[in-house]
């Protein structure tokens, strides 16, 4: 059914169609509308046989999810940013226990300073926790990926994180095709857990494991990720057969056949990148792009096949590894190990900074001339950066960086101090 709907509500409806039995919820922007939507359906009785549990924190949300999944319930939760970091211990526990929990991550920057807007710092922070990470490019894909995620999680008995760009997707209103319950039931069978706590057949999970077996446990978790490299494209193809549209997959090339420069990225920015590719092609430039659908497991072989013939690769990243540069670019270099070609990192959109077609076109033009540094910060305001560097060099008591930058950007900034207003000197 076609609906003009908010992305978060579309995800909520898709999750409900998957017939979750337990939903554990704690609000944090920008995922709150998703669990609010699911909760409203439980309260209204349109989502039946589902227990909606309000908890006191993000750590509690995933801890409850671990318990419900361990007793055999199809389980869902959602979080974002600091919420994901707060539940970090439980994130690792869910993966180590092999529990097929599905979680939406409304991608958002991590403080300090506080920032509620989109980037991929949160998903990158826990990329190696053992969860499969699927990234949505559009709201239609965001909804569809949750249906695939439940099937994937339960087939492999491994948790799946569906990463959706905060605000850019979660709060955008678009026309979505919401499937019927019959279609989802045809694709997603009832949950049959491979492990289930049962008082009639008692055993423990998560018990102490020493050096004699811990490495083997970790290897088997790694093996599930390797198995997902086969399962993800297979389930995506099956999904297309049932629902009549494509969703997910490991990688999606765009105009790469004869491309000399190929851009690689995660999430919604791929839409803007494709617009830039089209414009460059009209101007005669041989530019292409690849959308990464699954960041964990990372599709090394598939990327190598797509990128090997290009002269260079540009990775546009909404995350930063301080002291290194790009996380995605480091993984792409692994895919191209031994291939003599540059892999450039473009850090863009941190904290919700707009990523414009004009800025991307310019950086891709420079890349095509191999006139790009290994790590480029798109649209960085060097004036305020240099001003802060000079300030820090001039006095030990230079003050907090974030507040200094705000004062430099807003010299007329006014605040109320001790009951009277005064202007902050820029």
pLDDT of 174 reads: 95
Residues 166-181: tens digit of each pLDDT: 999 999 999 999 999 9
* Cα-Cα-Cα-Cα dihedral sign, residues 4, 162, 379, 330: negative
- pLDDT score recorded for residue 416: 41
- pLDDT bracket for residue 413 (50, 70, 90): low
Q: Which residue has the higher pLDDT, 340 or 424?
A: 340
- pLDDT interval class at 387 (50, 70, 90): very high
Please name each of the domains of the chain with its CATH number.
2-243 (3.40.50.970), 252-377 (3.40.50.920)
Q: Which residues pair with 134 in a beta bridge?
A: 162, 294
Taking only the tens place, the pLDDT of each residue in 59-112 is 999 999 999 999 999 999 999 999 999 999 999 999 999 999 999 999 999 999
User: Bridge-partner residues for 366, per DSSP?
Assistant: none
| Closest among 288, 281, 289 to 264, alpha carbons compared | 289
Whether 425 shows a pLDDT value over 90: the answer reads no
What residues contact 295, with CB distance under 8 A and at least 6 apart?
123, 127, 133, 134, 135, 163, 266, 328, 331
* Res 422: pLDDT: 41
CA angle 345, 351, 355 (to 5 degrees): 55
Residue pLDDT, tens place only, 288-333: 999 999 999 999 999 999 999 999 999 999 999 999 999 999 999 9
- What is the predicted pLDDT for the residue at 414? 43
Which pLDDT tens digit goes with each residue over 127-147? Answer: 999 999 999 999 999 999 999
**pLDDT at residue 54, rounded to an integer:** 96
Round to whole Å and give the CA distance between 363 and 327.
19
205 pLDDT higher than 80: yes
Statement: the pTM of the whole predicted model exceeds 0.75: yes
pLDDT at 423 over 60: no
């Amino acid at each position: 059914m076609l609906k003009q709907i908010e992305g978060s509500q579309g995800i909520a409806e898709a999750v409900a169609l998957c017939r979750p039995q337990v939903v554990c919820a704690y609000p944090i922007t920008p995922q709150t509308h998703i669990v609010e939507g699911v909760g409203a359906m439980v309260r209204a009785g349109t989502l039946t046989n589902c227990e909606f549990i309000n908890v006191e924190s993000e750590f509690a949300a995933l801890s409850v999810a671990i318990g419900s999944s361990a007793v055999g319930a199809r389980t869902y939760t959602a979080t974002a940013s600091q919420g994901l970091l707060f539940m970090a211990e439980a994130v690792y526990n869910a993966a180590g226990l092999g529990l097929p929990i599905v979680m939406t991550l409304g991608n958002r920057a991590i403080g300090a300073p506080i920032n509620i807007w989109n980037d991929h710092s949160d998903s990158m922070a826990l990329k190696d926790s053992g969860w499969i990470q699927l990234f949505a490019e559009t709201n239609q894909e965001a909804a569809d990926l949750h249906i695939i995620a439940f099937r994937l999680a339960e087939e492999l008995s491994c948790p799946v994180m569906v990463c959706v760009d905060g605000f850019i997707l979660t709060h955008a209103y678009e026309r979505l095709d919401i499937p019927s319950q019959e279609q989802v039931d045809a694709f997603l069978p009832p949950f049959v857990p491979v492990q289930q706590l049962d008082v009639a057949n008692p055993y423990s999970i998560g018990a102490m494991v020493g050096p004699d077996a811990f490495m083997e446990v970790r290897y088997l978790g790694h093996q599930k990720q390797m198995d997902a490299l086969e399962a993800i494209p297979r389930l995506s193809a099956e999904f297309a057969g049932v629902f009549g549209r494509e969703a997910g997959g490991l990688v999606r090339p765009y105009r790469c056949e004869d491309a000399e420069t190929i851009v690689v990225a995660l999430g919604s920015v791929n839409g803007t990148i494709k617009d830039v590719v089209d414009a460059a092609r009209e101007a005669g430039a041989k530019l292409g792009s690849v959308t990464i659908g699954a960041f964990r497991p990372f599709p090394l072989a598939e990327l190598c096949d797509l990128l090997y013939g290009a002269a260079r690769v540009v990775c546009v990243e909404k995350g930063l590894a301080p002291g290194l540069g790009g996380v995605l670019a480091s993984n792409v270099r692994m895919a191209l190990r031994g291939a003599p070609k540059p892999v450039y990192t473009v850090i863009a959109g941190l904290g919700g900074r707009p990523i414009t077609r004009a800025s991307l076109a310019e950086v891709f033009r420079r890349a095509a001339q191999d006139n790009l540094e290994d790590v480029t910060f798109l649209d960085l305001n060097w004036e305020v950066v240099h001003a802060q560097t000079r300030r820090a060099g001039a006095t030990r008591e230079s003050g907090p960086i974030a507040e200094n930058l705000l004062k430099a950007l807003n010299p007329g900034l006014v605040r109320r101090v001790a009951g009277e207003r005064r202007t902050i000197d820029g």
